[in-house]
Amino acid sequence: MSPPANIPAGQEIRLNVNGQPKTLRVHPMERLLDVLRAELGLTGTKEGCGEGECGSCSVLMDGELVNSCLIPAAQANGATITTIEGLTLDNTLHALQESFLNCNGAQCGICTPGMILASVHLLARHPRPTMEQIREGLSGNLCRCTGYTQILEAVRRASGHVEAP
């Protein structure tokens, strides 16, 4: 087996990831998901489907929830990205992380990073969401383990909202 020719990656991009500025050399069509996982070693963001259906690759890009498997690196140039790793500050868990722990919102855990970021995004826009709003806000994140019940409860509790489900 002979070693392959090395094709140098084509473009320099600058990102802010979890508060840290990063300059990378990438192929412009590399997926943001792969940039995060392979180039930056941030493996908290997961690939579940590669087609923008399951949401396990969700990150926040300039404050908006996006599926990183569908974003070419060149389009993330200049963006501020938050991944699951960026939620914990100084070893202190984000309120949603605490709540997911307390409510058993994470079973196998593979959907959890995306699910938590989707919840962060939801609560930023609807600090006191109704159950309906929580369901809608998370409807792009598939979970196969929980049936969603304990996830919805985790988000409800983190929001401090006491509306009946």
- 36-39 LR contacts (CB < 8 Å, sep 24+): 36/68, 36/81, 36/83
User: Rule CB under 8 A: is residue 123 a binding residue for other proteins?
Assistant: no
Q: Does 27 bind other proteins (CB under 8 A)?
A: yes
- Nearest alpha-carbon partner for 98 in 23, 24, 54, 159: 159
CA 37 centroid distance within chain: 12
The interface with other proteins within residues 71-90 (CB under 8 A) comprises 71-72, 74-75, 77, 83-85, 87-88
Binding of other proteins by 157 (CB under 8 A): no
Considering the complex, what minimum distance in angstroms separates the CB of residue 40 from other proteins? 12
**CB 21 to other proteins: min, Å:** 19
As beta bridge partners, residue 58 has: 67
The single residue among 24, 40, 121, 159 that binds other proteins, judged by CB under 8 A, is 121
d(CA 68, CA 50): 9
Q: Which of 12, 20, 108, 127 binds other proteins (CB under 8 A)?
A: 108
